[in-house]
Amino acid sequence: MSSGGITSENREAYMEKASKAGMKIETDPGQDVALQSETFDPALLFEPLRVNALDLPNRLVMAPMTRNMSPGGVPGADVAAYYRRRAEGGIGTIVTEGTFVDETAGFTSTVPRFFGAEALAGWKHVVDEVHAAGAKIFPQFWHVGLMFLPADDLDNSNAVSPSGYGRPNELTGKPASVKVLEDTILAFGRAAASAQQLGFDGIQIHAAHGYLVDQFFWDATNHREDLYGGKDLVARSRFALDLVRACRAATSTDFPISFRFSQWKQQDFTARLAATPAELERFLLPLADAGVDIFDCSTRRFWEPEFEGSDLNLAGWTKKITGKITATVGSVSLNTDLFSSFATESRVTNNMVRLVEMLARGDFDLVDIGRAVIADPDFANKVRAGTLHELTPYSVAALATL
């Protein structure tokens, strides 16, 4: 998801615009566990992890977070310093903010691009800075499709979408031709090749949160009857499978591909792609076969069970089904979820005790940290030292600067 311009506006104005754009803001207290209530042992979070031929220094990943701070789509020295600072703070792996794969992919001019000499030179500097501080880094490839948010300032007349719907029942575009989809797939492949050439350690495909790839998965936005559509989720996965295959073909066989997906959509938090573990299995296994190495399973609260009858979360089920490396995410260390934090101040809590229990049980391998690592660049080092009481709480005001 995108911060969509909240950096330059006050919260009320942002929420009003966001609500007009159909983005839901809700207040939810989340899992609020008093900080000192239980003993916290961080050791497992700091074990290294091998992904193909890549060694990740620990289990903490900086989650992809749009910052809208790259004028003209070019990540500058300040963006490189921002990521380096988080690497110095002990985060093992960084997934960059969403970065646009081609001219049709974006909706704001300050989100960094992943094409064009100037933007790619900017990314090269980011990679070098992060590596100098000892962390690994993956770019996140993002295509918004027809899902526009309040800060939109680009020409959307060539927006790509499965059926002209960015939101259910809201026809705002036209179905993309197969040729346009093939061009988009090529753009993802080109971006993957550039990432490897620039020295990135892997890539992530953003297939979550109601953006283009998710618009194909979701029956409310994909009404196609050709090879990129159909009544069945597996049929609607063809576009994603082609993207994964294109990225795999454009890189060496051991170059890690991470795939971020979610049940929830910004357009509808209650939407679900898979209602049962069996459906999830039919959805995931072809993606794993196509070349996904890491599934980044996006949830808003990591402790929530995905299906009735088991306390496994989405990452837990995904690991059980595919045997692949999985990452969990959602409100780690915070008492608010991503959306409630637009409306409520957040507090640091001790929910990482539960997180480590789940990690120890083998539910997942990696943990994405989002807002907490924006608020506190030293998040990982403080967690390692067990000094959770020293963590800076997240506030939406933290988005004003890098």
Binding positions for ligand FNR, rule: CB under 6 A: 1-3, 63-66, 97-98, 140, 206, 208, 260, 298, 329-332, 338, 369-372, 399
CB of 64 to ligand FNR, least distance (A): 4
Token pair recorded at residue 127: 């990679």
Task: Give phi and psi for 322, each to the nearest 5.
Answer: -100, -20
Q: Measured between alpha carbons, how far is residue 53 from residues 202, 252, 291 in Å?
A: 11, 11, 15
CB of 111 to ligand FNR, least distance (A): 8
- Which residues, listed in sequence order, are joined to residue 141 by a DSSP beta bridge? 99, 205
Give whichever of 181 and 399 is closer to ligand FNR, judged by the CB atom. 399
H helix intervals, 77-135 = 77-88, 117-132
Buried b or exposed e, range 347-385, using 16+ CB within 10 angstroms: ebbbbbeebbebbeeebbbbbbbbbbbbbbbbbbebbbe
Give whichever of 192 and 224 is closer to ligand FNR, judged by the CB atom. 192
Give whichever of 104 and 346 is closer to ligand FNR, judged by the CB atom. 346
Residue 211 known to be catalytic: yes
CB of 392 to ligand FNR, least distance (A): 14
Q: Measured between alpha carbons, how far is residue 33 from residues 30, 37, 348 in Å?
A: 9, 7, 9
Residue 147 CA to residue 145 CA, distance in Å, equals 6
CB of 225 to ligand FNR, least distance (A): 29
Pairing of strands 60-62, 93-100: parallel
Among residues 83, 211, 228, 394, which one is catalytic? 211
CB of 97 to ligand FNR, least distance (A): 5
CB of 179 to ligand FNR, least distance (A): 28
Residue 287 CA to residue 307 CA, distance in Å, equals 21
Residue, CB closest to ligand FNR: 370
CB of 400 to ligand FNR, least distance (A): 11
Phi/psi-derived region of residue 264, left when phi > 0, alpha when psi is between -120 and 50, beta in every other case: beta
Answer positive or negative: Cα dihedral of 212, 12, 83, 337.
Answer: negative
Give whichever of 147 and 159 is closer to ligand FNR, judged by the CB atom. 147
Give whichever of 229 and 299 is closer to ligand FNR, judged by the CB atom. 299
313: helix, strand or coil: coil
CB of 34 to ligand FNR, least distance (A): 19
Answer positive or negative: Cα dihedral of 322, 323, 329, 335.
Answer: positive
The secondary structure of the chain in percent helix, strand, coil, rounded to multiples of 5, reads: 35, 15, 50
Give whichever of 136 and 260 is closer to ligand FNR, judged by the CB atom. 260
* DSSP designation for 113: B
Give whichever of 104 and 340 is closer to ligand FNR, judged by the CB atom. 340
Residue 141 CA to residue 200 CA, distance in Å, equals 13
Phi/psi-derived region of residue 76, left when phi > 0, alpha when psi is between -120 and 50, beta in every other case: beta
Burial bucket for residue 277 (CB in 10 Å: 0-12, 13-18, 19+): middle
Give whichever of 165 and 261 is closer to ligand FNR, judged by the CB atom. 261
Instruction: Show which residues are catalytic.
Output: 211
